[in-house]
Amino acid sequence: MLTDRDVQELVAGVLELDVADVGIDKSFYVDLEMDSLHKAEFVVALERATGTEFAPADAAEMDSVGDVMRLLRDRHRVQ
């Protein structure tokens, strides 16, 4: 089961940031300056970490760690 911290670490790894800079509600695009290539890399890392494949519509909903956690809980039954 992934935690908020696990997702923060994935984002930090993709964006080469300190984990402390990746807040739960910080926008990937606005606050963290993630671009589409980073987003694709993040989604692949998330898929590997969860063993779940995400549809493009799911990936489009991911704009913060909080969004990712809600998506995982709501659609993929991760606690």
**pLDDT tens, position by position, 1-49:** 889 999 999 999 999 999 999 999 999 999 999 999 999 999 999 999 9
Q: What's residue 78's pLDDT?
A: 56
E strand residue ranges, the chain:
none
Among residues 56, 77, 55, 74, the alpha carbon closest in space to that of 66 is found at 74
Q: What's residue 25's pLDDT?
A: 97
pTM for this predicted structure:
0.91
> What angle, 0 to 180 degrees and rounded to 10, lies between the N-to-C axes of helices 65-76 and 4-15?
130
Higher pLDDT, 74 or 76: 74
